[in-house]
C-alpha cells in the first residue's frame, strides 16, 4: 500500500514513532501489516495525504470440480 503525504508535515508514522515528511513524500507500508495499513488509510482519507496504491487483493482459489450425476449413483445395487 502506498500513500503520498503532502508535507511539510510531522506526525506519527506507521511504526509509531514521530516522522517529518517533506512535500509529497511517498510512504509505502507492508500489505500484511494490519496496523500500518490502518494508519495509511487514516492518512489517505484526510486532506494531508493521497492514496496511491491500495492493498493488493488476494487471489481467489480455484473452484473444485463438482461431481457429475453419473458419479453419484456408483455402487448402487437397487437398479
Write out pLDDT tens, residues 16-65: 999 999 999 999 999 999 999 999 999 999 999 999 999 988 777 666 66
Q: How many beta carbons lie within 10 A of that of residue 22, not counting itself?
A: 9
CB under 8 Å to 41, separation ≥6 — which residues?
Answer: 1, 51
Is the bond preceding residue 8 a cis peptide, omega within 30 degrees? yes
Q: Where are the domains of the chain?
A: 2-56
- Full-prediction pTM beyond 0.75? no
Amino acid at each position: 500500500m502506498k500513500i503520498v503525504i503532502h508535507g511539510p508535515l510531522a506526525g506519527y508514522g506507521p511504526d509509531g514513532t514521530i516522522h517529518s515528511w517533506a512535500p509529497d513524500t511517498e510512504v509505502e507500508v507492508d500489505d500484511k501489516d494490519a496496523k500500518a495499513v490502518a494508519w495509511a488509510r487514516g492518512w489517505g482519507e484526510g486532506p494531508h495525504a493521497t492514496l496511491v496504491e491500495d492493498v493488493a487483493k488476494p487471489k481467489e482459489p480455484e473452484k473444485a470440480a463438482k461431481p457429475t450425476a453419473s458419479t453419484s449413483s456408483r455402487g448402487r445395487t437397487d437398479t
